[in-house]
Structure 1
């Protein structure tokens, strides 16, 4: 029986039990909601609170910037559901693949500085890379998941990134593309950070590691708190990441009538699929005693998934970019760089036949319902951060309860985004009246 059929039967089989649990047993935790919103965006705050009161949210943060200024900054629930530790304004949480989008902004900054060229071969900066069929991979192909390097021959220990970077580079240099580079795209879920972080370090005139590059070039300069690998002394501020219980995940699938999570779960459960091979590539699977909730793992910089931040800081970062890249502190990105980030480089189904995302220069790109070009990156469990340059908006959502098995966006985040844009229309009209 295929993985998809197994998952489908499982969904049907537990549907009634899940309904009973949801309706009669599950009790929402006391709603703890805090934050600040511009009066024109009160609808967003009301919706956010309602989702805590009805048990849809457990611990999260949502924020938005417009024209470089904060208009929404909300946080609520629990950083640790088990101990009832409240989620605070300065709580940091793992953002998983949304880290990829932040690193794409770093790569764009490198292009602005002349340290990197999207059109040059990766081997121009990293000569040893040009082995085993990788000699024709450009920086653009690598960033847009077209390099064929999503699947690796073996893995390396995660701790080698800190302790033995040379060993990691040697491992990456020996890899052979899983498909001919440039002929298709496939999500480099784990390997993106390994290859791109190495490239940035080699292209950097100071050869800094990616976490140091972000801190010195963006974080410190523009007042944005985001860590690629959380320093141990800040671990006490981290939210505990928790998977939704299986029955809750299945209920969400049933309630939303969404077949995509079933397909993804089926592909992840079925042995031999490309998606399964991707999941077991790059770095070795974590031993049971070393999880995302430990300082030993959290501190390791890996741009595929190990960034830590919150919605306020991510919205500020993308808000600067959406507002033209210029601030009183200096220029983060040029207008030319921002225009290039809006351009999709892929389209249609991916190599594995499951993912359907338009990737650009390290970011996901899409045209929203208003026809505006938007770019950014989602992350596992519901994380999202993006820039809308047309409406000069940066927006982000971060959650400690990992709810979504989807590539189309978390249900609660999509609710907040829709409400935000309704409010923004009124806000723009009100600004015109006031002026």
Structure 2
């Protein structure tokens, strides 16, 4: 035990020394910034540019829409640090679990169309799903991570999603709940997309795959560029993702006293923990693999984590919903369904003992300082997209440098969000006077 403690201290000391060297001695990259914003939101842009200068931002985009109109759309840094490829207006990025929120919006659209009912069993739409104790799992339980299906018996090749969907369905149909459905929740980090994608295909009158459903029902109609699995022809626009070096991650956990991140790291490293088993479930290739930055991996539609977009398009999507769901192109979601998305279905600490998130119908639901519900989904490393219906605002934030492993929102995004709300208050006051 004493040897382990000594090794831990040594790792921490080395992490601090390397961090200080990288921060204060190594020559920083030139600052790149671009975009547009309403003059009243200059503060947001200034904070963003400062984070580019101090190295907190390496390559990212941030956007905010109010009443369906873009007030902030900025980006900066590098889409690929090694080659110095700049982040541009058209750069796309993998959004990890923020993809789950987009898929929840698709499910809500199905509810509006009468193709899906949250209260009905999944087996109503997918009869073979009902075997092995899954017959009473409702659509709501599945979407809110209460189905007990975060852990699978074995894994399947990722390529089957594209090449052998029937094999994927057979694999999922044979699974047994890890806990009695409805008795608690635990994050279905990998399996959410496998099960929900299959459900949407089964419930869709045309039985389309999830990427085609989004393109035809939302993307093309409302002008939102988002891909669940990106075509090889567009891979050249995708930012190269990289995790924070270990020394940076450790430094941030220590300096921010981020006990959540430390607890999660410990849980993932414990082979018998629910989180560790979840992370090794579903498919054989996971987001942490080296295959992450390859066209072969990125083209596969998996709604748990393989969506590709940028802040502008995410803010537009959630901005439409935050503004009541109606546009000149048509109705994305009805107000009734939007109200349902604001309802939390879980509370308290999850069965894995680490995550504490209020999940609704496929989205995370939190209350702001005034008690208003906002909803959407975060993703690994800092990705964020959500709707604030009380303030008619939609937000998107996407970063190529994966900056955290905590369930807390990214620190830089929180800075932009706070500045946006300050600016919005002044902006609305000025509008009232004119």
TM-score (norm 2): 0.97
**Map of 2:66 onto structure 1:** 66
Question: Which residue of the partner structure matches residue 44 of structure 1?
Answer: 44
Q: Residues 190 and 279 of structure 1 are in contact (CA less than 8 Å); yes or no, is this contact kept in structure 2?
A: yes
1:211 match: 211
Alpha carbons 1:8, 1:262 under 8 Å: kept: no
The answer for the alignment partner of 2:172 in structure 1 is 172
CA pair 351-7 structure 1, distance change in 2 beyond 3 A: farther
Once residues 142 and 115 of structure 2 are traced to their aligned partners in structure 1, the CA distance between those partners, rounded to angstroms, is 16
The alpha carbon displacement at 1:18 in A equals 4.0
Residue 381 of structure 2 aligns to a residue whose secondary structure is coil
* Counterpart residue number, 1:258: 258
Contact 2:378 2:409 in 1 (8 A): yes
Specify every segment of 5 or more residues in structure 1 that has no aligned partner in the other structure, as ranges. Answer: none
Q: CA deviation at 1:8?
A: 6.5
Structure 2 counterpart of 1:351: 351
* Secondary structure of the corresponding residue to residue 78 of structure 2: strand
The alignment yields a C-alpha RMSD, in angstroms, of 1.8
Indicate if the aligned counterparts of 1:79 and 1:239 stay in contact, CA closer than 8 A.
yes
1:108 aligns with 2:101: no
Instruction: Determine if contact 1:290/1:296 at 8 Å carries over to the other structure.
Output: no
Task: Flag the 1:253–1:138 CA change in 2: closer, same or farther, 3 A.
Answer: same
Structure 1 residue 28 displacement after superposition? 2.5
Output one character per residue of 1:342-371: Cα deviation in whole Å (capped at 9) or x when no partner: 000000000110000000000000001232
Shift of residue 252, structure 1, vs aligned partner: 1.4
What is the count of residue pairs matched by the alignment?
Answer: 433
Name the CA distance, whole Å, in 2 between partners of 1:222 and 1:199. 24
Give unpaired runs (5+ residues) of structure 2. none
- Once the two structures are superposed, residues 81-120 of structure 1 have per-residue CA deviations (whole angstroms, 9 ceiling, x without a partner) of 0000000001000000000000000000000000000000
1:249 CA displacement: 1.0
Pairwise CA distance, 1:34: 0.3
- When residues 292 and 6 of structure 1 are mapped into structure 2, their CA distance, relative to the original with a 3 A threshold, is farther
What does residue 185 of structure 2 align with? Answer: 185
Name whichever of 17-26 and 412-421 sits farther off.
Answer: 17-26
Contact 1:290/1:297, CA 8 A, preserved across alignment: no
1:329 maps to 2:295: no
- TM-superposed CA distance for 1:285, in Å, is 3.1
SS of 2:65's equivalent in the other structure is strand
Distance 1:77 1:170, change over 3 A: same
Tell me the equivalent position of 1:377: 377
The yes-or-no answer on 1:367 pairing with 2:357 is no
Over 3 Å counting, the alpha-carbon distance change for 1:18 and 1:241 in structure 2 is: same
